[in-house]
Structure 1
Amino acid sequence: MVPGTYSVDNFGRYLSDFKAYAKNGQLLETEKLDDNRWRIKNASSLAKITYWIDDTFQDTAATHPIFEPSGTNIEANQNFLLNTHGFMGYFDNLKRLPYEFTVLKPQNFYGSTALKAVKTTPTSDIYVVPTYMELVDSPVMYSVPDTTVLHIGGADVLVSIYSPGKKVKANYVGAIIRSTLEAQKNYLGGKLPVPRYAFLIYLSDKPNKTGAYGALEHSYSSVYYMPEADPERIAQQIVSIAAHEFFHIVTPLSIHAEQIHDFDYNNPKMSEHLWLYEGVTEYAATHVQVNQKILTPEAYLGKLRNYIIGASRYNDTLPFTAMSKGALDKHANQYGNVYQKGALIGLGLDIKLRELSNGNYGIRRLMQDLALTYGKNKAFKDEELFDKITALTFPEIRDFFRKHVEGNQPLPYTDIFKTVGVIYQPVSTEEKVSLGRLELGYDAKAQKLTLENLTETNAFNKKNGLRVGDQLWALNNKTLTPESLSTVFKNEVYTRTPGDEITVVVGRENKRGKIKLKKLKGHLIKITEEKQYVLQIDSAASPQQKIIRDSWLYNN
């Protein structure tokens, strides 16, 4: 297992022709124990081992495909993605020995990584890392370079992109990602806690086996696997993911359990604190946006509502610590909740700390104190963390953990939001102007929004109306994309009056299988919609509620 994936992937199955040699060049006898382990007999005379590695990207037959950001790519003269755990292993009990590895490369290739090469020639790079854990934590991507370096908060941030069709450039993505990193720098106190960082971005022009896109975090870098598409859309998707991945420079880099500090790759032991590693990280990735005034408070409440909606799809009475311990097996189907309820645990803890300190202490200060208490080279014991946090803060915090993280009591949303002058309604109704209730999808190949379902009552008549499967091209001459959808509907639908004329351009398949554009005309209608988990600022909030709210939203 690779840290951060929460999936047992057995990378040893991509290794073949394993051989061990004595100092005199003689072959030593070896025994394959399982997918990931080999025993070398008479190893006291061992001088070297050799083997071949196949990459995961081209493995189209795998029944258990590897999530691409943790995978490997070997593409001659194009790209080599070296997630190091896919190429190099370790000897039992020797993970803490230094590793030196040499990469031979074409002269026009550059190795993008957060590592610093100890020696470089036009055709080779030599790297040295103190331990196997830091080796696994250090991916490298080789290709013809398309890079840019941002200097932010005392750190050099590398943005490296492999775009096979040259559609997306590093300078473009770097310019867009800069504002997010500047906001995170300010959020973390004006200085980044790492001297360097690398965004390694692989854009694919082919279908992938897993059907998933995303990223994998490391202490000083993150690897992204995304489709090669419109630069603006891809850049925004990278930024939204990077907001989360970049915050992993705080945890687990500076705050982590013993299970992570001395990770057992072959028989992984899970920590019970995924609420911290992933949940608080996700909370910070969203909270920074309102704190740095990228989002309005109302828009931020919309983000929190989405977390509540997401968490409602999981088992809300399963103790979060138990889910974390069983994330690889027993509770694997609940793992996604770390990004939903996990973020809400961060929210609840932050607001509780603000309440108990009259607004003077929140989760960011707590994370700073934990980093000072532990740090990169000192791990905490799983069973001691809640008590340590309580000792650093307030006795009431132990009750919060006991009830809502270790225990089976759902988070008390009404009480949490009331503390900061926000009204929470589990169910509400509202009237709105609409085209009707539409369910939208996305055709990645055509790069178009599609109509998956619609109610019988809608803005168009049956004969000349929308049909399931239609591609949505434009609304009132405004182009529809995943990025523009919200703005176009706000301006062209929600702010209009029932009965106003509406035009929609759709792409519809004809009898010959060709997509033809068709312009539909209809009239907006009014619907009554039930809405769950509604959050709104309380205009009648007390002065104390306003103090805590402002502290929660804007103070450090």
Structure 2
Amino acid sequence: MRYFILFIIFGFQSIQIIAQTNSYSISFENAVHHEANVSATFPDIASDTLTLRMSRTSPGRYALHEFAKNVYNFKAKDNKGNSLQVSRTNPYEWKVSGHDGTIVISYTLFANRGDGTYSQIDESHAHLNIPSTFMYAPILNEREIEVDFKTRDDLNWKIATQLPHVKDNIYSAQNLYYFMDSPTELSNHKTREFNVDGQKIKLALHDPGTEEEADTYFEKIKKVVLEEKEVFGALPSFDYGSYTFLACYVPNASGDGMEHRNSTILTSTRTLANGGMEGNIGTVSHEFFHSWNVERIRPKSLEPFNFEEANMSGELWFAEGFTSYYTNLILCRAGLITPEKYVEGLTGTFNYVWISPARQFFNPIEMSYQAPFVDASTSVDPVNRENTFISYYSYGSVLGLALDLSLREKDLNLDDFMKLVWNTYGKTENSYSIENLNETLNIYAGDTFGNNFFNRFIHKSEMPSYTDLFKTVGVSLSQNTEAAYIGAAVSITDDLNGKIQSNTRIGSPAYIAGLDKDDIITSINNKPFPNGIQFNTFIKDEFKPKDTLSITFLREGIERKTEVTLTSDPNYAINLIEKNDKTPSKKVLKARQAWLKVE
């Protein structure tokens, strides 16, 4: 009798669980006009009013995106088909009342941006980011979800997603968060997969190219996956035993990459045959590294992720920046780019960080705080980002480089530090703070080393001695002190004058001379503005540091004059020392080979 009663109890609970599954359906009859028809059923609603929302954010993004703006034709009915009362108190919510315990909603979604944040619907695909597509009920966030993707069979669409398959075109999620974190691609895509330690790594490739191109690209992905596994010592334990690259390389997409727990979105206008074979693999490297660093090595500041407000984190210099450091390093280690290309490729990011005046305003933690203002966010009012902001991707990347080379001077390395962070916080999925990272570096490299790094370079805005660090691996850091510099980005206008395109850099010759964005340079030293040559090339070819230029310019249609005294170009060149006809010692060459993992 006891077992019979337990059977009844558990059976009843199972029925309740099944009954309390929220179900969605999405179809694409009007895909040619970028519309989807979405419906959802919410059963067993206890309160008279159910609040439904469109998300304002998306996992992996930190800014607000206001997905509700693309929802219309909203209707709500009860289980018998009777229309229900709907009220609106803010732009993101629909309050539905007067139901019979079940609420059935429907609406039309417009979607025409194919990237990692938004959705895109047309006759080539339905590229679905879940927060930008599906309405949800916050109070029901722990319910299981099922979704029926009604594919366009006439367009040969297939379904690719990290969501577990139920049957036919129905997929499930154990709760709202997993649903929101599960992008889905419906298209006539190519599929590839391989096994690593009992787990499947899959590619769903929406690209117009050949099967042979897909094979070649997947071989590159394999190399990236295996090389990144070496950094951490093992793959993460992916839910349901698989990880999926959702690659959408079509001309109408927007370039992007967005990590998720067991998948990633990869979008680009470059098809594999049109530069994507080489140009897109870096995004693969970056996003797959995130399956460790940010998906499971998770900042406390992003837990739980907030779908109603912007998500701010002071750890993005590590989560995004250190991931960026490894992006091209992995490509080099995997043999997909040469050591020369990798080292020379450091130049742009290094100069962007090194010469920026923004470090006088914010340290890396505070730069990370700026993410809600810059992470694919939009605004119409002018800002001064050229002078006040350094991307936490770039800032963290050059600090990751410095930390790696500094550790190698102690016969340590960043790979093993990342392993320690992984084993401490990633495998266990215990979220971390900046203090935790400092403590972990202290454990790995000693209190003096760890505290010095965090106190000088993370809590403050000092910069490491890159010249000395680069010497340890046979890399040169050099400047051309004879090259002139003005500090303004100038383009040629239709009437062959020069327009300053962005805010002039604080402390630069142009800034000191009072030149500003949108000023139109009409003459230099009483000669017409030069055309047919890039402005900065003209400055370097025709003038020397300390030369003074008499500049005539228009501001709001009024002619003005100023004098600009040029300085030496502050930018650096980064190269292997062999390019300067120097031969690295055996010790230096060994250190470089250990760093780049190449012979």
After TM superposition, the score normalised by the length of structure 1 is: 0.69
Residue 362 in structure 1 maps to residue 362 in structure 2: no
The one-letter code of the counterpart of 1:272 is: G
**1:254–1:309 distance in 2 versus 1, CA, 3 Å:** same
Q: Deviations 1:408-428 (Å, cap 9, x if unpaired)?
A: 213432243244453423446
The one-letter code of the counterpart of 1:53 is: T
Partner residue, 1:13: 69
Partner residue, 2:398: 344
Q: 1:288 aligns with which of 330, 333, 345?
A: 330
Residue 117 in structure 1 maps to residue 165 in structure 2: yes
**1:541–1:105 distance in 2 versus 1, CA, 3 Å:** closer
Q: Verify the 8 A CA contact 1:149 1:159 in the aligned structure 2.
A: yes
Q: 1:100 aligns with which of 120, 138, 146?
A: 146
Displacement of 1:309 = 2.4
Partner residue, 1:29: 85
Displacement of 1:400 = 0.8
Mapping of residues 152-301 of structure 1, within 5 Å: 154-163=198-207, 166=208, 168-169=209-210, 171-189=212-230, 192-193=235-236, 194=238, 195-206=241-252, 212-227=254-269, 231-301=273-343
Q: 2:353 aligns with which of 282, 289, 311?
A: 311
**1:94–1:414 distance in 2 versus 1, CA, 3 Å:** farther
- Measured in 2, the distance between the counterparts of 1:228 and 1:286 equals 19
Please list every run of 5 or more consecutive structure 2 residues that lacks an aligned counterpart in the other structure. Answer: 1-56, 378-384, 484-489, 493-530, 535-567
- Measured in 1, the distance between the counterparts of 2:228 and 2:157 equals 36
Q: Secondary structure at the match of 1:256?
A: coil
Partner residue, 2:171: 127
Q: Secondary structure at the match of 2:409?
A: helix
The one-letter code of the counterpart of 1:257 is: P
Displacement of 1:30 = 2.9
Displacement of 1:184 = 3.8
Partner residue, 2:34: none
Residue 146 in structure 1 maps to residue 186 in structure 2: no
- Measured in 1, the distance between the counterparts of 2:427 and 2:223 equals 24
Partner residue, 1:535: 574
The one-letter code of the counterpart of 1:29 is: Q
The one-letter code of the counterpart of 1:398 is: N
Q: Verify the 8 A CA contact 1:156 1:197 in the aligned structure 2.
A: yes
Q: Verify the 8 A CA contact 1:184 1:288 in the aligned structure 2.
A: no
Displacement of 1:10 = 0.7
**1:89–1:261 distance in 2 versus 1, CA, 3 Å:** farther
The one-letter code of the counterpart of 1:172 is: E
**1:32–1:302 distance in 2 versus 1, CA, 3 Å:** same
- Measured in 1, the distance between the counterparts of 2:459 and 2:139 equals 33
Q: Secondary structure at the match of 2:281?
A: helix
- Measured in 1, the distance between the counterparts of 2:461 and 2:158 equals 51
Q: Verify the 8 A CA contact 2:271 2:277 in the aligned structure 1.
A: no
- Measured in 2, the distance between the counterparts of 1:230 and 1:275 equals 31
The one-letter code of the counterpart of 1:533 is: Y
Q: Secondary structure at the match of 2:293?
A: coil
Q: 1:405 aligns with which of 458, 461, 464?
A: 458
The one-letter code of the counterpart of 1:222 is: T
Q: Secondary structure at the match of 2:391?
A: helix
**1:12–1:275 distance in 2 versus 1, CA, 3 Å:** same
Displacement of 1:272 = 0.7
The one-letter code of the counterpart of 1:534 is: A
Partner residue, 2:132: 86
- Measured in 2, the distance between the counterparts of 1:27 and 1:377 equals 48
Please list every run of 5 or more consecutive structure 1 residues that lacks an aligned counterpart in the other structure. Answer: 58-65, 431-438, 442-465, 470-528
The one-letter code of the counterpart of 2:401 is: L
The one-letter code of the counterpart of 1:114 is: Q
Displacement of 1:536 = 4.2
Q: Deviations 1:406-455 (Å, cap 9, x if unpaired)?
A: 2121343224324445342344669xxxxxxxx999xxxxxxxxxxxxxx
Partner residue, 1:53: 108
The one-letter code of the counterpart of 2:319 is: Y
The one-letter code of the counterpart of 2:144 is: P
**1:245–1:383 distance in 2 versus 1, CA, 3 Å:** closer
Q: Deviations 1:139-192 (Å, cap 9, x if unpaired)?
A: 1111234333344565433332334xx4x2355134224234324413422754
Displacement of 1:383 = 4.4
Partner residue, 1:424: 477
Q: Secondary structure at the match of 2:159?
A: strand
Q: Verify the 8 A CA contact 1:216 1:222 in the aligned structure 2.
A: yes
Structure index of larger Rg: 2
Displacement of 1:344 = 0.8
**1:29–1:146 distance in 2 versus 1, CA, 3 Å:** same
Which segment drifts farther, 318-327 or 236-245?
Answer: 236-245
Q: Verify the 8 A CA contact 1:201 1:224 in the aligned structure 2.
A: yes
Q: Verify the 8 A CA contact 1:112 1:140 in the aligned structure 2.
A: yes
Which segment drifts farther, 529-538 or 170-179?
Answer: 529-538
Q: Secondary structure at the match of 1:149?
A: strand
- Measured in 2, the distance between the counterparts of 1:118 and 1:260 equals 30
The one-letter code of the counterpart of 1:97 is: R
Displacement of 1:301 = 1.8
Q: Deviations 1:505-537 (Å, cap 9, x if unpaired)?
A: xxxxxxxxxxxxxxxxxxxxxxxx979323345
Partner residue, 2:5: none
- Measured in 2, the distance between the counterparts of 1:402 and 1:105 equals 54
Residue 385 in structure 1 maps to residue 385 in structure 2: no
- Measured in 1, the distance between the counterparts of 2:451 and 2:342 equals 28
- Measured in 2, the distance between the counterparts of 1:224 and 1:87 equals 18
Mapping of residues 474-553 of structure 1, within 5 Å: 532-537=571-576, 548-553=591-596
**1:25–1:31 distance in 2 versus 1, CA, 3 Å:** same
Q: Verify the 8 A CA contact 1:113 1:141 in the aligned structure 2.
A: yes
**1:42–1:221 distance in 2 versus 1, CA, 3 Å:** same
The one-letter code of the counterpart of 1:413 is: Y
**1:174–1:7 distance in 2 versus 1, CA, 3 Å:** farther
**1:233–1:544 distance in 2 versus 1, CA, 3 Å:** closer
Q: Percent identity?
A: 21
Q: Verify the 8 A CA contact 1:18 1:49 in the aligned structure 2.
A: no
Measured on the aligned residues, the alpha-carbon RMSD in Å equals 3.5
Partner residue, 1:326: 370
Displacement of 1:16 = 2.1
Query: Going by fraction, where is helix more abundant, 1 or 2?
Result: 2
- Measured in 2, the distance between the counterparts of 1:157 and 1:467 equals 50
Q: Verify the 8 A CA contact 2:63 2:310 in the aligned structure 1.
A: no
Residue 74 in structure 1 maps to residue 117 in structure 2: no
Partner residue, 1:374: 425
Q: Verify the 8 A CA contact 1:214 1:225 in the aligned structure 2.
A: yes
Q: Verify the 8 A CA contact 2:420 2:440 in the aligned structure 1.
A: no
